[in-house]
Amino acid sequence: MNIRTTLVLLALALTTVFASPRLDARSLRVEVNGLVCAFCAHGIRAAFARQPAVAEVFVSLEDRLVAIALKPDQDISDAITKELLTDAGYTVVRIERTEATLAEIRAEADRD
């Protein structure tokens, strides 16, 4: 295998790795600061309910967590996620994409 072929294959491999990790993710796990009141958290579900890529939202005050289930082959950008949570009155600490389902995330939160 010559160098050119090797470079092409390497480029294809890197493209595959980085091209669409978001479409493999089933949920977003977002760590949030300021989540201490259920009445005030009403706006989180209302905001994400309007997003076409969102199937369901789980909020846990105990875990400071907003988990967002994505519809198949759909995604929501980190920028929009952060904007929606900021508009709801909260501060986003970290966004993580995961293949875990919302049920799995909810079960993990209930176990803690």
Partner 1 sequence: MTLRFPLAALAILASSFATAPQARPVTYAGGHVLVLSHQPTLDQWRYTHSPSFRWSVSVGGLRADHLGETQSLDVDYLRAARLLHRWNLPEAQANAFLWGGIGQTRSGKGDGLGRHVGLQLDYETRRIYTALVSELHEGDGWSHRFDTVMLGWSPHPHDVDRMASWVVLKGMHTSNTDDSRLKGALVLRFFTTRWWLEAGADEDGRPLANLMVNF
Member of 1, 17, 36, 79 binding partner 1 (CB under 8 A): 36
- Per CB under 8 A, which region of 3-11, 21-29, 43-51, 71-79 contacts partner 1? 43-51
- Per CB under 8 A, which region of 4-12, 26-34, 70-78, 94-102 contacts partner 1? 26-34
b/e map of 63-93 (b: 16 or more CB within 10 Å)?
bbbbbbbbeeeebbeeeebeebbeebebebe
48 contacts 68 by C-beta, under 8 angstroms: yes
Q: Confirm or reject binding of residue 105 to partner 1 (CB under 8 A).
A: no
Q: Report d(CA 26, CA 65) in Å as an integer.
A: 16
* Contact footprint for partner 1 (CB under 8 A): 32-47, 59-62, 64, 86-91, 93
